[in-house]
Every structure is written in structure tokens, then in C-alpha cells.
Chains A and B, each alone.
Chain A
């Protein structure tokens, strides 16, 4: 493998890792309270409707 290909692979690996890290950190943030309330509301509605 020549140097240019090796550097290209390194750059791709760097970008891929930073992307994953960025996405993972966002995905692990605590969910906003209004979203969890919404889920509870929807579940309650389903229960009331016998779903």
C-alpha cells in the first residue's frame, strides 16, 4: 500500500470515529421531559382504548 492510500485510510478512519462519537453522545443525552411525558400519554391513551 502506498503512502497516499495509507493516509487516505487514516483520514477516513478519523472522520468515521468522530462521526460515531458525535452521534453516540447525542443519542445518549437524557431525553427531554416533554418527550417522556408524551410517551406516557400515548401509552395511557392506548390502555384506555383497549389497545
Chain B
């Protein structure tokens, strides 16, 4: 029954619903708004052309992210990537609208995140931000699950160092939204 419903959805309609996330992934990889938009366009054209190969009921977002990632690493050469954001396009494109008390911390976070190596930034984006499981992210990147875990851990550790997240500082780094998560986590542990 559920599979029938899934099969009835035109995959092209579903593809359109993932464009925002696809662009967010591209921005995380490229760190350059213009480049990211080109990459998304190229990905959409490839996916549209191959839409018949997409298996209904499987994870379209993972499929699209994989196409985007492969396109990025095969087409967008290292030299092109190194010019990332020279004109501040990404900074201008980032819709950063932090709340007053979290502004500094959030901008610090964004800056620190962008200094991570490509593979770590990608790992954190897939697992920490997009919600993919380790094994899914590993499959998308063509690496072992253990490698993906290791990349995520190294990236987190690097962020902790870059942001100088000592135990005392960590609470100052929060805005109200983040604080809610921290407090909720503490409540769960107490119960």
C-alpha cells in the first residue's frame, strides 16, 4: 500500500522538494555561492536526465547528494575550489539572521566550520546537519562507515579547538535555541 503511494509520486515532483537542501549541501562543499548554484544546476540536469534510473521508495535526497558530490569532485577541480569566496559571495549569500545574544557565537561557528578540510566539512554536513546515518553518508562518499565516523569525530574535535569551547565558555556560546537543546539534553540525562 505504502509502496503503491510512493510509486504514484512523480519522482520529478519529489526532486523539486529537495532543491533547498541540495543547495545547502552545495554551499557547504563549495563555500562559494556562484559556484554552488552552478553545481546545483548541473546536478539537477543530470538527475532529471537519469530520473528513470531512480528507484521509487529509495532515498532521493541521498541519490541527489551523491550526484552533486560526484559532480563536485570530478568537474570542479582543486584550482577552481581554491578561489572559493574570494569575492565574499558566500558571505553575502548566507542567510545569517542570528538572534541578538547568539550573533557572535554563530558567526564564529560559521567561520570555524569553513576552515575545516573538505572531507570533514562534508562529513559533518551529511551526518550532523542533514541527518544521514553514518553508513548512509559513508556509502555516498564511497568510504567505510568507520572512516566516516572518524571524519565526523575529527571535525567535531577541530571545531571544539577552533571555538575554544572550554567548559566555562560553552554556555556563553549559546543562543536561546541552542540553550534549549542543551537544557533538554540535561533533563533527559537526569530522568
- Residues of B near A27 (CB, < 8 A) are 20-21, 23-24
Given the known interface contacts A29-B93, A35-B41, the answer about A16 and B128 at a Cβ–Cβ threshold of 8 Å is: yes
Interface residues on B, range: 35 or more
Q: Is the CB of B128 within 8 A of A20?
A: yes
* Residues of B103-133 whose CB lies within 8 A of A: 105-106, 109-110, 113, 124-125, 128-130
C-alpha gap A22/B128 in the complex (Å):
11
| Contact residue among A9, A17, A25, A46 (Cβ-Cβ distance under 8 Å from B97) | A25
Q: Is the CB of A29 within 8 A of B178?
A: no
Q: Is the CB of B94 within 8 A of A15?
A: no
In whole Å, how far is B33's beta carbon from the nearest beta carbon of chain A?
9
Given the known interface contacts A18-B109, A27-B23, A34-B41, the answer about A10 and B12 at a Cβ–Cβ threshold of 8 Å is: no
Flag whether A48 is at the interface (Cβ < 8 A).
no
Mask: chain B, 1-43; 1 = CB below 8 Å from A; 0 = not: 0000000000010001001110110011000000001001100
Q: Is the CB of B94 within 8 A of A9?
A: no
Which residues of B are at the interface with A, using a C-beta cutoff of 8 A? 12, 16, 19-21, 23-24, 27-28, 37, 40-41, 44-45, 48, 93-97, 105-106, 109-110, 113, 124-125, 128-130, 156, 159-160, 165, 167, 170-171, 173-174, 177-178, 181-182, 185-186, 189
